[in-house]
Copies of this chain bind each other. A is one copy, B any other.
Amino acid sequence: MRRRLTEEVNDLQNQTKQDQILDALQTLLGDKNIQNISVSEIAQTAGIGKGSIYYYFPSKDSIVDALVERNYEKPLETAKNLAKQTSISPFTRMAMIFQACRNSSTEFRAQDETKTSDAKEDAFIRQKYMKHLISEMKPVLTEIIRQGIEQGEIHFDYPAALAEIVLIVLTVKLDNSLVPSDPGEIEETILGLISLLEKGTENPAGSLNFLMMK
């Protein structure tokens, strides 16, 4: 059978019904925690009936999952492309990847700061974020580190472990819901991580400072 006309119109304006729903959720997340957002509310914001939500998604949780995935599509693609650019230094590429992630995540939680409700409460969604990011990004980062080892720029015996350690520390530390900390503390931890990386990968002190973001 031919595809429905409405579907084609949607595709043309790059807005499937699913996207509409995800947009609604994203908007609402600017104001409150996922726990305080009801499915009816999402439906209302999306301008459709509650029942329709369940025509496109099997559960409320799955909507959150889909949103997380959508928000990391771009940085993941960026990372995968960078993994092929062997001419660029591995550490530079790592920095670029983290920058891409950071942009995407600040975009995602644009209005979090102005939240009225208790910030620690939306930990739920942050966690899905972390999980997705770490598991998707690890193989890519591992490959880049492996290249660095081959090129003699990185001296370390456990590329996958190194990738994971860096990912975990950065993700956890930059997510204030898991370990609440003031900016100075974050900076110190990142500095410590950089110092540990420099010594651990046998690079001169200060050479990786550019990993420090912004």
A86 proximal to B (CB < 8 A): no
Interface string of A187-201 (1 = CB under 8 A from B): 011111101110110
A17 proximal to B (CB < 8 A): no
Interface of chain A: mostly helix, strand, loop or mixed: helix
For A192, give its contact among B164, B169, B185, B195 (CB under 8 Å).
B164
Interface string of A169-213 (1 = CB under 8 A from B): 100110000111000010011111101110110100000000000
A57 proximal to B (CB < 8 A): no
CB–CB B189/A161 < 8 A? yes
Residues on the B chain within 8 Å of A104, using CB: none
6 A-B pairs with CB atoms under 8 Å apart are: A160-B188, A160-B189, A168-B168, A168-B173, A199-B199, A199-B202
For the complex of A and B, the 10 pairs showing the least CB-CB separation, nearest first, are A161-B192, A158-B192, A196-B200, A199-B200, A161-B189, A168-B172, A200-B200, A161-B188, A164-B189, A134-B179
Q: A156-B196, A165-B189 are in contact. List 17 more A-B contacts (CB 8 A).
A: A124-B124, A127-B127, A127-B178, A131-B179, A134-B179, A156-B195, A157-B192, A158-B192, A161-B189, A161-B195, A165-B169, A165-B192, A168-B169, A168-B173, A168-B179, A172-B172, A196-B196
